[in-house]
Amino acid sequence: MPSTAPNKLRYPRRLLAMTLMLAVLVLAGSHQALAGKVLALVNDVPVTSFDVSQRLKLNSIVGGARTRKGAFRSVVNAVVLETEARKMGLEVPDTAINKAVEKMAANMGGMSKLKATLRKAGVRMSTLRSYVRSTLLFRAMARKTGKRISPKVDQQEIDRRYRKIMSDPRLRPITIYRVRQVTMPVENVAPAMRQQLMYARMVEAQQIMKRYRGCSTLRKAASGIFNVKISRTLEADPRRMPKELRNALRKAGTKRLVGPIRTRGGIQFLAFCGTRKIVPPRPKKEQIAAMVRSEAMSREVERVMKDLRRRAYIEYKDKKLALR
């Protein structure tokens, strides 16, 4: 069988495995449906994994427990509090909740900014409103029963937490590689026919490589060639790439393709479309102070709620989440 013409951009076969790993490396994450598994019954009200997941995400914004069990405790407390409030005839009007949400939005730069923050974290507005409702109910109950809630926040603790967060490596800018994957499928045919078809596809691959002048010319370079699949632009973290693949992309640059590479499904290329710098948002000191105050309040709330939980009926479906 005749061999293909020499190619200046021929790469080791192990790049095949690296190419296939690209699907794992891309930053465009998939959205999985949140399960609604019942974790506990609190006064016959189900607490689900979805509730806990929502609370955990909300806590990343408003402060509070960052563990699954801690978020579970907060959701259980909210259900217990609702029961106690009904017994005492306490209610929180929607106007009070709206006012509290609007104040929170004002502190974050406006309602549109608040909604964008919730959306980015995957938090429903109803979850935030439930959180606000529980907070207001607790304050009303504390006033009615004469319980003194006075969280103490030390300025030195705020400064220490701020320094710790600002030194987190995840806040450093990172450079992302933008790539596109090109596949030329070879259908499942008899072995003898497959070899001939693979050779024909390699010849076509050489045509694409010769025409290619950059990512914007990719479809034009593949025009007239049957069944060429071109992915959308993917963003991959080069720190998670094998060194050989990272070096191959850098060597090829943005004007040449990496490949061709033979795979079971046919012929593959990688097109390096350049880089993009991502600068994570840096929190303001006021936000850190609010988070520390919220955590201090949570400790005070837990002191009261621990006693109320003892009087509640709680059936744990997941024994690992049992609260003391």
- In whole angstroms, what is the distance from residue 271 CA to residue 197 CA? 23
**Nearest one of 74, 60, 69, 72 to 131, comparing CA atoms:** 74
- Span 82-125, pLDDT tens digits: 999 999 999 999 999 999 999 999 988 899 999 999 999 999 99
Range list for CATH 3.10.50 in the chain? 14-26+174-278
Tell me what pLDDT residue 75 has: 94
User: What are the residues facing 230 on neighbouring strands?
Assistant: 182
Q: CATH code for 43-170+282-321?
A: 1.10.4030
Tell me what pLDDT residue 21 has: 44
- In whole angstroms, what is the distance from residue 263 CA to residue 198 CA? 10
**Nearest one of 273, 275, 187 to 226, comparing CA atoms:** 187
- 28 confidence band (pLDDT: 50, 70, 90): very low
Tell me what pLDDT residue 24 has: 39
- In whole angstroms, what is the distance from residue 318 CA to residue 29 CA? 29
- Span 202-215, pLDDT tens digits: 999 999 999 999 99
Tell me what pLDDT residue 117 has: 93
Mean pLDDT of the chain: 85
Any idea which of 18-22, 123-127, 244-248, 295-299 has the lowest mean pLDDT?
18-22
- Span 232-245, pLDDT tens digits: 999 999 988 999 99
Q: Is-cis flag, bond preceding 260, omega within 30?
A: yes
φ/ψ of residue 200, rounded to 5: -65, -40
| Residue labelled with tokens 């409702």 | 133
Architecture of domain 14-26+174-278: Roll (3.10)
- In whole angstroms, what is the distance from residue 71 CA to residue 64 CA? 8
With 70 as the cut, is the pLDDT of residue 32 above it?
no
Tell me what pLDDT residue 136 has: 92
Q: Is 232 left (phi over 0), alpha (psi -120 to 50) or beta?
A: beta
- In whole angstroms, what is the distance from residue 293 CA to residue 90 CA? 25
Average pLDDT over residues 31-40: 66
Any idea which of 81-85, 191-195, 227-231, 278-282 has the lowest mean pLDDT?
191-195
* pTM over cut 0.85: no
Range list for CATH 1.10.4030 in the chain? 43-170+282-321
Give the length of the chain: 324
Specify the DSSP element, H or E, that contains 236: strand 234-236
Tell me what pLDDT residue 293 has: 83
Specify the DSSP element, H or E, that contains 104: helix 94-107
Tell me what pLDDT residue 119 has: 94
